[in-house]
Structure 1
Amino acid sequence: MLLVTLWSSLLALTAQGVAQDYGTSPPVYPSPPSTGIGWEVAFTQAQAFVSNLTLEEKAQLVTGTEGPCVGNIGGIPRVGFDGLCLQDGPLAIRQATYASVFPAGLTAAASWDRGLIYLRGLFLGAEFKGKGSHVALGPVVGPLGRSAYGGRGWESFSPDPYLTGVAAENTIWGMQRSGVQACLKHYIGNEQETHRNPALSPNGTTIEAVSSNIDDRTMHELYLWPFAHGVRAGTASIMCSYNRLNGSYGCQNSKTLNGLLKTELGFQGYVMSDWQATHAGVHAIKAGLDMDMPGSIGGLQNTSFFGGNVTRAIKNGTLDQDRLDDMARRIMTPYFYLNQNEYPPVDKTEPTLNSNYPPYDHPFTFGASNVDVRNGHGQLIRDIAAAGTVLLKNTNDALPLKAPKTLGVFGNDAGDLVNGQYFLTSAFQNPFGYEYGTLPIAGGSGTGRLSYLVSPLEALKARAALDGTLVQYILNNNLLTQPSGLGAIVPVPEVCLVFLKSWASEGSDRASLEADWDSSAVVSSVAAYCNNTVVITHSAGLNVMPWANNPNVTAILAAHLPGQESGNAIVDILYGTVNPSGKLPYTIALSESDYRFSDITNSTKLLETEDPNAWQSNFTEGLLIDYRHFDYYNKSVLYEFGFGLSYTTFDMFDLSTDMPNTTINPLPDSLPIAPGGNPSLWQIACTVNVTVMNTGDVAGAAVPQLYLSFPPIPSPMPTPLNVLRGFDKIWLEPSESQTASFLLTRRDLSYWNVETQEWVIPIGAFEVTVGFSSRDLWLKGQLTVTERD
């Protein structure tokens, strides 16, 4: 047993704020001004720039306008400012031609690979910059993934805040290293699409958007956690969300914007609204909103909560000039920090992709048309897609394939697209997406325009040709579920591959967690015909798998949303060119009913309400979402969080813990807040080491994971039994071993004390467990915290 003594009295870290009762949102004013921490030179440039602007020009700088991009800040030629171009989204520069479509955030998280996630951000950023886009609207950490039914969970990373935080910071580092501003979104509690915006009742009453009601501890330890990572990583901007938060709209909630984000986390950049998420002018500005997008109200030009209202408010004294100057400095500081005063012009083709055509109210500088920014990024996309594919079942080494004589390919997800290469179609227009064609990405503003797509069937045919394999296929799910649907397949293939898909899109939540298009019947039909059936899922979220224990289903691969290299990536895995190393970034339960602990708020009564405030979503599950819920209530699952098989095997041994110093000296509570919060929170408290060895016959990557079990915490709400607090991805040749080191910060060891409004390390014994998933834990140790004499 390992014993480490830490002085708890050193680790009560003060954070500014007011205790927040459940269901309320206390006022926090004024909005704290930026001081440019970490961006000092750029901040000085921004100060000089803003001091040279007129009042009207400052108002223009904070107000969106029509233009060539999804969001636009008009240019000010008098001072040499060409404006800002803001573009979707988290996996591609959505509207652009000759641009790449990367794997979704969900897929990146399933890779558990910091390096690949960083490169994904780096290459994404390079493409945005090449098209003249100053701001990339991503990455996404809200929704975090409270509900498995969330329609946009695939845009984010994982319902675990630690994994999501690590993925967000590496994405931001990569994007901004390329020179493009990252916009971390959607802040905060944006955990469902259903009634995310206000609507009119049948009688014409305005029914306000759903209110996510979150207690203070859950806010800090769950939903705010990855945003802290993003702020510390230096994200230029943060997008506030559509929903209300404890009764107040996210883009005018002074507690979350002024209190949590700008004060407690020390955010130095600017807050922009989601599109049409602004519901007030001066009130929203005082509450912390810095930029209104798209600027107009309801798409009506020359009407805005900002714009002329800002200049009038300054002149009549209802808004301080200092606050407007702070908004402008916050916007311009990352602009200068990333040297965007010297930047490629906007691709001239972009205006044709928007509803508003030139001439615009403000000047924009255009460059060449159809600039090709893909720059050989296809190989990285293929690598990430393969790394984010999780092998869930592999009976009798059904995989990898070894030049089978015959191969069957089944399901409407296997073939090429038949409805075009742009997945903008909304969930309202098409709740299940398109029937035919593989699913490389999902829909809505987080989608991308594919310049090409390699389908699974196309890639399988090419690979089979090398082996002389006979490939037969049926892609019609309706036919496959008929009694004689497989009669045309002769002989019975040695291996049958079934491709399933699950669509989701912005604007609507998922209706089911099973794959779409009668998928269970398709699997049952094929498995009854073929006793070596391999199922591959492409899904905008997790799937329950009622067919998983069918003995004729010999292997299962969760391939998530792989992007444009879909077919090549899955063939790499199926044939063993790439040893699968993906791990689940969520839990797959035994049935849909197991996920009812955090349902989407939606009912017939609510849909028919005349009560303006009827839509209330109480996050009563607190900290217990995903694996935290299943572990706390000791529920069996099909495949646990962090699970994933390999074509090789691994061993783990030699757990040890090192302290950076023999004594941890106390830190003053009066340390200035820096981006990410109190700097002492991010200091390393201890290091846990473990050795991992490849005991199999082929090279592969292991993902050792560290979980912490906290000592008893004086809190009325349940504390999770185990929480992820470290992971690594280690490539190992056969018989090779390496040491994985997990750096635990004071924040990792702390909980949020709602009474003292501090991060506190609790007194007692922490259990440290390390393994290969949340329920496959090999080694245990202990850290003990005692009172200081």
Structure 2
Amino acid sequence: MNEKINALISEMTLEEKANILSGKDFWHTEPVKRLGIPEIMVADGPAGLRKQEEVKGALTTVPCTCFPSESLLACSWDTDLMESFGKAMGEEAGFEGVNIVLGPGCNIKRSPVCGRNFEYLSEDPYLSGVMAGHIIKGVQAEGVGTSLKHYIANNQEHRRLSVNAVIDERALREIYLKSFEYAVKIGKPWTVMCSYNRVNSGYVCESRRLLTDILRNEWGFDGIVVSDWGAVNDRVECLKAGLDLEMPSSGMVNTQKIINAVNEAELDIETVDKSVGRLLELIFKAVENKAEKISADIKDINHKRARKIAGECIVLLKNEQNMLPLSKSEDIAFIGMFAKQSRFEGGGSSHVIPTRLESAYDEMCKLLNREIPFAPGYSLNSDIPDEELIKEAIKIASGAQKTVIFAGLPENYESEGYDRKHMDMPASHICLINEICKVNRNVIVVLSNGAPVAMPWIDNAGAVMEGYLWGQAGAGAVCELLLGISNPCGKLAESFPVALEHNPSYLNFPGEDDEVYYRESVFTGYRYYGRKKINPLFCFGHGLSYTSFEYSALRLEAKVFDAGEDILLNFKVKNSGDRQGKEIYQIYIRNAEGELNKQASELKQFGKLELAAGEEKEVTVKIEGSAFSHFCTREQAFIVEEGEFEILIGASSEDIRLTAGVKINSADKVKKVYHKNSTIGDIKENPAGKILFKELEEQYPEAFEMIFNGMEDDGSDFRDKMIHYTVLRSLVYFSKGLISEQKIEELINILNNN
């Protein structure tokens, strides 16, 4: 802390210190006017600002640009685009006088039915963390801070304020913490928002291990930790753990608890001063970095940016017989109320009042310079199929060459505050698609939904485009993609299972009462589907284009590397089609000979290339040595095991085009601890143990004849297996003491100290 802040802290009373560590109200920090300490403003912002201000005694939400949801943004796999998006958000926040944007969110998509999945980026920690990190960089480049949320394991809305997420240490480190680690190290957020829930019994907001030991000491985070709104359980314990700012104001309730704890020597004043100092640093950083002049046209500019961003993200899932792109000369019909009333954003704290809102129908008519046939097909007020609306839609579709159906999930199906019970679309949407497919073979379905849906109609539709929640300008972007004005290049940042029952968390989501067990461990999303050989409906990383791409000429600088050593590899990607396009390459690593639970392919690098028709580019990629590590619970550290690994390069997690094997030499050895319940097989796997056990057999031949009497070698594996899995203590009992417990202890001590 600098001299100015230290001087201010020395002048503050205990009451002022305790008071500043709680919000002034819902959106502002508490000022200390007598010392010239100003307030700063925060606002929700994962996909656009939700700035609220008081007008005539009532809170009013200010219209701001509604960008695509994070679920769609992640499908760009484009870090430059994420920084551009962040900068656009930062500029608008500065224009509105907002100092901290509450976002991005990088919780892992453990289940497709989490009600808030539209606010999160991916099921994969690397993609999630890297994309979040670059959003943060973009926002903060404009002098506006971010609040990376919700740290950690806020992966469901059901009982989110009290649920205890029981997560094994390896999964916690490799999946759930890792997403935030990437984001913190890449983006360096000004604040991190602590989640509501508990992890392994304790509230996250009271966990010194999570908030201080890992976040600050291991990762180097130097900003403030702020509570999610209402997440504080015990204010004093939170402060001790490293939670600096409580939001919103608790009306002096928790402020008084801090004062009492200091006066009663339950809380060190140094702990209070440390949090106050961090908060003052944030406040003055926000004030000093405030942009001086921002264009008054920023919201018009951002509307155009939002359209461009959406076009880079929307995913073409299916395109049989090149049904897309549409030709402007074709007779096209639009069916479905979403074509005129876009489902463009999620519900809850991310709900934005848009500055304007495009509809797909209006935008298509503009692009075609003519009116096109339309039928609503279903009611937005009912899930029950409406026979009259369907009859009208059938009549319209029967007279069209191609029919585009806009369907998906109504806003009340997914929101902050509750989870979905299933992956189904409304019956009215499903029935409409099925009936239209009976009268028109050229059906394109455009989906608007915050998270994966089941598609029982998929075989009947010729093409499917996933628009997620595309924001206020995404309708125009999807029309440009449908017509081929733009070429689709988005790829899924999560798997779409055929059925919810296929998801690895299915039996343990959302848990029972206040306990949810993450029994799938590290096998989230594509890791699970790949390991179990379950074909999802659409795999992680999947996305089509109107052109095609070929991969070739994979080269590595060597075949053998030392642990921790970076690997440079080269390969070529060629646009083998007849039009310009962008390809997202994905690089996965798999431990080819490790234990079964370490053999899942894991994303470790990705990139996006723009290629003209026929153009070929050589790609050079550095894979960091840490990409080969896993978290060892015994050593409580990330280690690299010596062995063979596969590097897999492809267009998706399942569409692998190039492979190469590498050998990693490593000094990281997991020291095995032996005890009386270790098996003879365990002992013999150790070279020293094999020698010691042979000496034991030679020293006590009568004992071993007694132990294994009746286990004759009959040509099967029975005798060998029985011996292999016999535990050491059994040697004492079965030999009736000929082999003593002291002898077994001597053998164990030698091995453990070897």
Same fold (TM over 0.5): yes
Higher normalized contact order (CA 8 Å, seq sep 6+, divided by chain length): 1
Counterpart CA distance in 2 for 1:249 and 1:479 is 48
Alignment of 1:374 onto 2:374: no
Shift of 1:658: 3.9
* Cα deviation, residue 736, structure 1: 1.1
Identical aligned residues as a percent: 28
Superposed displacement of residue 547, structure 1: 1.0
1:476 aligned partner: 378
For 1:528 and 1:375, locate their aligned partners in 2 and report how far apart those are by CA, in whole Å.
Answer: 43
1:299 match: none
1:229-266, Cα deviation, whole Å (9 max, x unpaired): 12212111111111111111121123322332222223
CA distance in 2 between partners of 1:779 and 1:712 (Å): 19
Q: Which runs of 5+ in 2 are unaligned?
A: 52-60, 380-384, 669-754
Partner of 1:164: 128
- Give yes or no for the alignment of 1:754 onto 2:642: no
TM-score by length of 2: 0.82
Find the counterpart in structure 2 of residue 719 from structure 1: 598
In the superposition, the TM-score normalised over structure 1's length comes to: 0.78
CA contact (8 A) 2:551 2:571 kept: yes
In structure 2, the residue matched to 1:94 is: 50
- Alpha-carbon deviation of 1:774? 0.5
Determine the structure 2 residue equivalent to 1:383. Answer: 308
Given the superposition, is the C-alpha separation of residues 487 and 701 from structure 1 closer, same or farther in structure 2, using an over 3 Å criterion? closer
Partner residue of 2:578 out of 697, 702, 705: 697
Amino acid at match of 1:526: I
Q: Which has the larger radius of gyration?
A: 2
Change (3 A) 1:490 1:632: closer
Deviations 1:604-654 (Å, cap 9, x if unpaired)?
Answer: xx5xxxxxxx42101010011111111010112221110111001111111
1:620 aligned onto 2:481? no
Match of 2:488 among 580, 593, 600: 580
* Cα deviation code 1:82-121 (max 9, x no counterpart): 2121110211111353421111111110111111111111
Partner of 2:589: 708
- Pairwise CA distance, 1:577: 1.1
Structure 1 unaligned blocks of 5 or more: 1-41, 198-208, 297-301, 346-366, 416-436, 607-613, 667-682
Q: In structure 2, how many angstroms separate the alpha carbons of the residues matched to 1:464 and 1:380?
A: 22
- 2:626 is paired with a residue whose SS is coil
Whether the aligned pair in 1 keeps the contact of 2:110 and 2:505 (CA below 8 Å) is: no
The Cα offsets for residues 697-742 of structure 1, whole Å up to 9 and x where unpaired, read as 100001111000024446xx82252010111000000111112233
CA contact (8 A) 2:378 2:390 kept: no
Q: Distance in 1 between matches of 2:505 and 2:190?
A: 35
- Provide closer, same or farther for how the CA distance between residues 104 and 340 of structure 1 changes in structure 2, counting only shifts above 3 A: same
Matches within 5 A, 1:446-457: 446-457=350-361
Note the 1:633-652 alignment, pairs <5 A. Answer: 633-652=532-551
Residue 48 and residue 765 in structure 1: after superposition, are their counterparts in 2 closer, same or farther (change >3 A)? farther
Q: Which residue identity is paired with 1:780?
A: T
| Match in the other structure for 1:343 | 290
**Offset from partner CA, 1:575-612 (integer Å, 9 cap, x none):** 11110000011112222321263456457xx5xxxxxx
Q: Evaluate the alpha carbon distance shift between residue 375 and residue 49 of structure 1 in structure 2; reply closer, same or farther with a 3 A threshold.
A: farther
Question: Which residue of 2 is the match for residue 393 of structure 1?
Answer: 318
State the Cα distance separating 1:557 from its structure 2 match: 0.2
Shift in Å, 1:566: 2.0
Give the secondary-structure state (helix, strand or coil) at the position aligned to 2:299.
coil
Q: Quick one: which of 458, 470, 490 aligns to 1:562?
A: 470
Select which of 153, 169, 174 maps to 1:216.
Answer: 169
Give the alignment partner of residue 262 of structure 2, picking from 281, 301, 314.
314
Which whole-Å CA distance do the structure 2 matches of 1:51 and 1:162 have between them?
A: 43
Change (3 A) 1:43 1:782: farther
Structure 2 matches for 1:400-479, cutoff 5 A? 400-415=325-340, 437-465=341-369, 468=370, 470-477=372-379, 478-479=385-386
SS at match of 1:413: helix
Q: CA deviation at 1:749?
A: 1.6
Number of residue equivalences = 650
Task: Specify the alignment match of 2:209 in structure 1.
Answer: 255
* Residues in 2 aligned to 1:481 and 1:721: alpha-carbon distance in whole angstroms: 50
Match of 1:196 in 2: 160
Q: Counterparts in 2 of 1:655-670, with a 5 A limit?
A: 655-658=554-557
For 1:84, what is the secondary structure of its paired residue?
coil
Equivalent position amino acid for 1:341 in 2: E
Q: 1:372 to 1:732 in 2, by over 3 A?
A: closer
Q: CA deviation at 1:152?
A: 0.7
**Residues 53 and 548 (structure 1 numbering): CA distance in 2 closer, same or farther, change over 3 Å?**
same
- The Cα shift of 1:137 comes to 0.5
User: Residue by residue, what CA displacement relative to the aligned partner does 1:551-589 show, whole Å, maximum 9, x if unpaired?
Assistant: xx1110001111110221111100111100000111122
Q: Provide the residue aligned with 1:108 in structure 2.
A: 73
8 A Cα contact 1:450 1:564, kept in partner = yes
Q: Is the 8 A contact 2:65 2:303 kept in 1?
A: yes
Give the counterpart letter for 1:762 in structure 2: E
Distance 1:390 1:770 in 2: 20
Task: Specify whether residues 615 and 643 from structure 1 end up closer, same or farther in structure 2 by C-alpha distance, changes over 3 A only.
Answer: same
Report how far residue 516 of structure 1 moved.
Answer: 3.1
Which structure features the higher share of helix residues?
A: 2
Alpha-carbon shift at residue 445 of structure 1 (Å) = 0.3
Alignment partners' CA distance in 1, 2:393 and 2:47: 37
SS in 1 for 2:374: strand
Q: Counterpart of 1:22?
A: none
Give the distance between the partners of 2:390 and 2:73, measured in 1 at CA.
39
